[in-house]
Structure 1
Amino acid sequence: MALTISIFLLVYLAMCLGFLPGFNVDRTGAAVIGAFAMIAFGVISPSKAWNAIDYRTISLLFGLMVVSASFIVSGFYNWTAARIATLRVSPALLLAVIIIVGGGLSAFLTNDVVVVAMTPLLVSITMSRGLNPVPFLLGFCFASNTAASGSLIGSPQNMIVAQGLDLSFTGLLHVAALPALLSLPIIWAVLIWLYHKNWYLAKSAQLAAPAVINNPANSLDMAETVKAGVITVIVIIAFIATDIPRELIAFGAAGFLLLNRTISSNDMLKHVDGNLLLLIMGLFIVNAAFSSTGIPQTLLDDLKHIGIDLNNPIVLFLVTGVLSNIIGNNPSVMLLVPFLHHSGHSDALGAALVLGSGFSSNMFVFGSLAGIIVVEQAKQYGVKISFVEFMKSGFIVTVLCMLMAAVNILLLSSL
């Protein structure tokens, strides 16, 4: 048992720090090594390890990543960014547009893919206009995290929650869409307050804008964009109106989009986040092995005796928020879902998980993959967003959005 606990703690230490101390191993590597270690030392048998991986979640996530990637290869994100770049509006209104676009795209396409595709384009848009890119990148990042919470297909943790609690597309939309929508004006107001005197760059910095936006007339493949859009709509309708398993719908959509005469399947698949898929598969095995010790169940019983019941939606919301900023939103959700008894109030628990993980992830850079992507990609183009700079606005945004979401969850719990 001591060995199992040690492996589990080392894996989640890596989730917390982003690397395994003393080794050049990132979060994904730690999850995979931890899974192998659990099998190699006989903590969990190979067959049980394989069965521990929820193929439905992996299939759903993979399929929707391919759908989202189709918008990248069609040039849709480039075209969208170019259209934003030509708007003759004030910085405050441009920030509103970027927040709305980022939130809208993230709600219906996997938010991490959206952030990867759009961050360099936003740096180019803002710097070419002589604007300080930091508030615009932060607004885009914050909106992608909170707006993605409102839809089953917005983020990986939403898909994990929906599969684990058996929530429908409309069920999750019903409990999370309104808070996700209300978060956007909160983000805009906070950034306006903090940056209204710091919109513009110094003259010397204005010359360094990266030329990453191509001519939209040359880069947009209209036929592929329309096809990707139609497939996305069909997927959403199928989620809502049919009883076909969601993973089969997503897989079918991915297969159709990969079967292409003009775009290489390799060009599509390279935008699928294989590292994230491996991380989730590894954590399924590590969590199952740790659960077999009986320690999590004992700990939950002890917590319940002192008044901390994870099946209380508001308690779950707060615990999820705290855990997400320690080990990340996807690992947090995966850790908590198996121990929830959701009969009777799964909607409130689902809202607690998706809003707790999505809204809290804006507090620190490492709170979400989207935050890490924005900061690291911006750095490549000479835009530095420090830990303090991120937290200065992220902390306020998180507190206000969490308070608003808590009210929503309390109302759901009382129904």
Structure 2
Amino acid sequence: MNGLVLATFVAVYLGMALGRWPGLKIDRTGIALLGAIVLFAAGPVSAERVLAAIDFPTLIVLFGLMVLSAQFAACGFYDRVAAGIASTDARPATILLVVIVVAGLLSAILANDVVVWAITPLLCRGLIARGLDPRPFLIALAGAANAGSAATLIGNPQNILIGSVGQLEFWPFAAACTPPAIAGLAAVWLVVRWQWRDALAARPVNGEALPVPPVQRSALLKACFWTIVLMAGFTTPIPHTTTVLVVAGALLVSRTMATKQLLGLVDWHLLVLFGGLFVVTAALADTGLPAITVERLEQAGLLPDRLAVLAPLALVGSNTIGNVPIVMLILGILPDLPDGSLFALASLSTLAGNLLIIGSLANIITVERAREAGVHLGFLEHARAGIPMTILAQALAILWLYLAGYVMM
């Protein structure tokens, strides 16, 4: 059975790298789910092992945070933010800075994928109406969403996973990972400002202003209140899963917003992707091959608990199979990494997502949502800013993590 497990594992992670299997329309979520189904149906993974393999605390925290982000989206908050940014009379360079700061801050608390999904269309329409090229602002939006999400345990799916597996506390994580996140935001601003300086030198025209989207104030106040409760809960010994579930449950109780509307904004595909990958990586672990691999890597001095190994592994892995799968793979092989290495893995895998469009789901969502709004952001157009901003951010993050004593070089 080991041969079937290994073949399935390779096929699944190859699909993660390609985004699909050639000739088929099955996407990453479908590939992960199908891999788990094959291993269960063929016998290597029993029903009991499937349940044991799935990290339910990670899925619970991810689900709860998606409900919180959905509350902000459903009440019109993101639309108002996008319209406000696009309609300002400020210079393009100032608008760029505002986009970066807003996206970074929101993504540190709310899911970065939801932030870019909600803001991109209105931002595009508003900038076009003012005669501005939306492309540098879109690159900055995705880049800042990725960088800002690196600051906290709840900023993105891979951080949630790392925090769950490593039993990390919220505020020590933030203390370690916020400086690299700020460095990442600065790198986004510096690189985009330089690479797109001609477009950002354009004078905005007094085009037709976007209509101000309505905001359900009571729903927004409710979302803000429960966000504060969530952050406060993370300072207590109460398990993160309990805090998140209480917040999600409270948000579902509403007189104005139907449960169907709120749950319709939850990214169920991502939850299924996680579940499938949990089963596939657990099946591989059961073969004993990861243990043998760890032993040989240790003999060669190549364990990913040092920056010299972890940084290039995170960079390459995030831009091939994706930052969530590479994190899951590393944790599946080395579940007992020290806290410092986990901080480094979270920061470096997240910042690495800015290198190419395929490096993170936030990038892909931004490009696809922009295309729906009539804006084409090409692979090379993104890469000419994405590559230098990532190299600069990674270098600064490595310097911080090493000098602060979190992980060895």
Whichever residue aligns with residue 371 of structure 1, its letter is: N
8 A Cα contact 2:107 2:145, kept in partner: yes
Deviation, 1:305, is 1.6
Q: Measure the CA separation in 2 of the matches of 1:250 and 1:323.
A: 30
Aligned equivalent of 1:93: 94
8 A Cα contact 2:57 2:164, kept in partner: yes
Q: Does 1:277 align with 2:278?
A: no
- TM-score of the two chains, using structure 2 as the length reference: 0.95
Distance 1:78 1:191, change over 3 A: same
8 A Cα contact 2:83 2:123, kept in partner: no
Q: Measure the CA separation in 2 of the matches of 1:117 and 1:283.
A: 27
Aligned equivalent of 1:223: 218
| Alignment: residue pair count | 406
Q: Measure the CA separation in 2 of the matches of 1:18 and 1:200.
A: 37
Whichever residue aligns with residue 41 of structure 1, its letter is: A
Aligned equivalent of 2:351: 359
Aligned equivalent of 1:298: 292
8 A Cα contact 1:67 1:254, kept in partner: yes
- Aligned match for 2:382, one of 387, 390, 404: 390
Whichever residue aligns with residue 20 of structure 2, its letter is: F
Deviation, 1:247, is 1.2
Aligned with 2:21: secondary structure? Answer: coil
- Aligned match for 1:262, one of 256, 260, 264: 256
CA distances 1:229-261 after superposition (whole Å, capped 9, x unpaired): 110111011011x11111111111111101111
Aligned with 1:198: secondary structure? Answer: helix
Q: Measure the CA separation in 1 of the matches of 2:237 and 2:201.
A: 52
8 A Cα contact 2:150 2:177, kept in partner: yes
Aligned equivalent of 1:13: 14
Aligned with 2:200: secondary structure? Answer: coil
Whichever residue aligns with residue 270 of structure 1, its letter is: G
Whichever residue aligns with residue 19 of structure 1, its letter is: R
Q: Measure the CA separation in 2 of the matches of 1:327 and 1:306.
A: 24
CA RMSD of aligned residues (A): 2.0
Q: Measure the CA separation in 2 of the matches of 1:120 and 1:285.
A: 36
Q: Measure the CA separation in 1 of the matches of 2:149 and 2:272.
A: 22
Q: Measure the CA separation in 2 of the matches of 1:381 and 1:71.
A: 22
Aligned equivalent of 1:65: 66
8 A Cα contact 1:365 1:372, kept in partner: yes
Unaligned runs of 5+ in 2: none
Whichever residue aligns with residue 146 of structure 2, its letter is: N
Deviation, 1:314, is 4.5
Aligned with 2:234: secondary structure? Answer: helix
Distance 1:33 1:244, change over 3 A: same
Whichever residue aligns with residue 379 of structure 2, its letter is: F
- Aligned match for 1:331, one of 300, 321, 325: 325
Q: Does 1:126 align with 2:127?
A: yes
Q: Measure the CA separation in 1 of the matches of 2:407 and 2:293.
A: 27
Deviation, 1:40, is 0.8
Q: Does 1:368 align with 2:363?
A: no
8 A Cα contact 2:285 2:333, kept in partner: no
Deviation, 1:413, is 3.3
Whichever residue aligns with residue 268 of structure 1, its letter is: L
Whichever residue aligns with residue 3 of structure 2, its letter is: A
Whichever residue aligns with residue 285 of structure 1, its letter is: V
Identity percentage of aligned residues: 37
Q: Measure the CA separation in 1 of the matches of 2:222 and 2:203.
A: 43
Distance 1:358 1:206, change over 3 A: farther
Aligned with 1:311: secondary structure? Answer: coil
CA distances 1:89-134 after superposition (whole Å, capped 9, x unpaired): 1111110000000111101101011111111121022111110000
Whichever residue aligns with residue 226 of structure 2, its letter is: I
Q: Measure the CA separation in 1 of the matches of 2:392 and 2:239.
A: 36
Whichever residue aligns with residue 154 of structure 2, its letter is: I
Distance 1:202 1:227, change over 3 A: closer
Distance 1:227 1:296, change over 3 A: same
Q: Does 1:238 align with 2:230?
A: no
Aligned equivalent of 1:404: 396
Q: Measure the CA separation in 2 of the matches of 1:18 and 1:379.
A: 19
Q: Does 1:114 align with 2:115?
A: yes
Whichever residue aligns with residue 397 of structure 1, its letter is: M
Q: Measure the CA separation in 2 of the matches of 1:164 and 1:10.
A: 25
Deviation, 1:215, is 2.2
Q: Measure the CA separation in 1 of the matches of 2:46 and 2:89.
A: 62
- TM-score of the two chains, using structure 1 as the length reference: 0.94
Aligned with 1:159: secondary structure? Answer: helix
Q: Which shows bigger deviation, 295-304 or 40-49? A: 295-304
- Aligned match for 2:406, one of 387, 403, 413: 413
CA distances 1:268-312 after superposition (whole Å, capped 9, x unpaired): 111100000000000000000011111111112212222201223
Q: Does 1:172 align with 2:173?
A: yes
Q: Does 1:34 align with 2:35?
A: yes
Deviation, 1:214, is 4.1
Distance 1:77 1:34, change over 3 A: same
Q: Measure the CA separation in 1 of the matches of 2:139 and 2:224.
A: 27
Q: Which shows bigger deviation, 317-326 or 224-233? A: 317-326
Q: Measure the CA separation in 2 of the matches of 1:58 and 1:27.
A: 17
Distance 1:328 1:414, change over 3 A: closer
Whichever residue aligns with residue 235 of structure 1, its letter is: L
